[in-house]
Amino acid sequence: MKIVVVGTGYVGLVSGVCFSDFGHEVICVDKDQAKIDMLRGGKVPIFEPNLDTLMQSNMAAERLSFTDNLASALEGVDAVFIAVGTPTRRGDGHADLQYVFAAAEEIAKSLTGYAVIVTKSTVPVGTNREVEKVMRAAVPDLDFDVCSNPEFLREGAAIEDFMRPDRVVIGVETERAADVMHAIYRPLSLRDYPVLETDLETAELIKYAANAFLATKITFINEMAMLCEKVGGDIQMVAKGMGMDARIGNKFLQAGPGYGGSCFPKDTLALARIGQEHASPMRIVETVIEANERVKARMIDKILEMCDDNLRDKKIVVLGVTFKPNTDDMRDAPSLTIVPALIGRGAEVIVVDPQGQAEGEALLPHVKWIENPYRAVNNADAVVVLTEWNEFRGLNLKRIAKKMRSPRMADLRNVYNRQDVLDAGFEAYVPVGIG
């Protein structure tokens, strides 16, 4: 199969690289010439484990290339994947589809034979039909089908998720399109990974439903954690006990400082808007959005309480600011709410993050970045574990406690054990959901 991927952001790049690794011929297209030059040089603009080596090996095998010229890339193509951004539109919470439609129109104008136009970007119900309309309007006699093929990749584990998916969803309307899509994913179906074929709307909804449900699961456990703090109880054990019920499952029950990232906040908001617009309110999702804000606010209160309700001139070291480990992504990270709130209350904040600085510098302008956690904690009044990077799981706590002015730790990911922290010389240890 010959595949063109439009947009070399997170989803586009991972999909393009993995499709080429399946053995397909893949051309990734982006308007950003600097990005294309970087990719051609074998460099990956984002941090995703193993993506660079997989990309380089497929480039060397001449299955994967990069260009800013869409028209030439489309020659003889079987499927064109649209993987451009769908950010939240300012003001109304809707997904902004201007980039999707612009890409669709451009593809229509350059296509020379039959191809399946596949939307990978997360888009509201009905968008694939709109894509079809936009393309028909641009070139009325064009021979093409549309397909909705949502992605379920987790940042930091994207290659693994692509290569060993729980399922692949393809929303199609014609057998011809289905055949192309099944051929593209044959390397997975041959290994018994399920490929679920649905209509367009169902595929679009599966994506939103899955993300909103996962965000709900996290928020549920976060609210349970707050309850544990009030009534006594250990959220880790509550989650374990719940998760042992196969109907519930043990994944995504890790209490923390609230969900963030490029997907859950944006997609829950978009689904709530879709429901409102169709007079079919998604009350649970609306509540989840609100509750997630309360969870973040609770984290600020916890840090404040730990520091005797006074942050003025206190030196606080924040370990981890990306929205989760193994990514440099700062989008909607809880740190973007929590860190400014600490600074606003007079604290001096030092940040340690293995990958976050490049993106984080502009977003967290008033913090000091220090690479080495042992240097960062010199004379500090509190350490806050905000993102559970492996680097922060096995710190020498004694060494840290000795260097701090007043050794206190807020462990917002429950990485440590209370007794270990106290034995190391800390005066206070504040986890999440352990009353």
CA distance 425 to 404: 10
Q: How is residue 112 written in tokens? A: 């020379």
What is the 8-class DSSP label of residue 79? E
The least distance separating ligand UGA from the CB of residue 272, rounded to whole angstroms, comes to 16
Is residue 348 within 8 A of residue 315, CB to CB? The reply is yes
CA 157, chain centre distance (Å):
10
CA dist 130 and 307 (Å) reads 54
Cα separation, 118 vs 100, whole angstroms: 11
Q: Where are the alpha helices (DSSP H) in 232-263?
A: 235-243
Contact 268, 191 (CB under 8 A): no
| 25 φ, ψ (degrees, to nearest 5) | -90, 120
Residue 119 or 254 with smaller CB distance to ligand UGA:
254
The residues of the shown chain that bind ligand UGA, judged by CB under 6 A, are 122, 151-155, 211, 214, 218, 252-254, 256, 259-261, 263-264, 323-324
Q: In the bound complex, what is the minimum distance in angstroms from residue 324's beta carbon to ligand UGA?
A: 4
- Closer Cβ to ligand UGA, 3 or 153, answer by number: 153
CB of 435 to ligand UGA, least distance (A): 19
Of the candidates 18, 28, 147, 263, the residue annotated as catalytic is 263
Q: Which of 333, 14, 2 is nearest to 152 (CA)?
A: 14
Q: Is 14 helix (H, G, I), strand (E, B) or coil?
A: helix
| Shortest Å distance, C-beta 221 to ligand UGA | 7
Identify which of residues 243 and 435 has a Cβ nearer to ligand UGA in the complex. Answer: 243
Which CB, 106 or 155, lies closer to ligand UGA? 155
Q: For residue 93, give every residue at least 6 positions away whose Cβ sits within 8 Å of its Cβ, in sequence order, or none.
A: 269, 270, 272, 273
Smallest Cα–Cα separation from 336: which of 323, 349, 354?
A: 323
Q: Compare residues 110 and 337 and give the one whose CB is closer to ligand UGA.
A: 337
Q: Which tokens sit at 336?
A: 């973007």
Q: For residues 288 and 218, give the distance between their C-alpha atoms in angstroms, rounded to a whole number.
A: 9
Decide whether 29 or 288 has the Cβ nearer to ligand UGA: 288
Radius of gyration (C-alpha) of the chain in whole angstroms: 23
Is 263 marked active-site?
yes
Query: What minimum distance in Å lies between the beta carbon of 88 and ligand UGA?
Result: 13
Residues assigned a catalytic role? 263
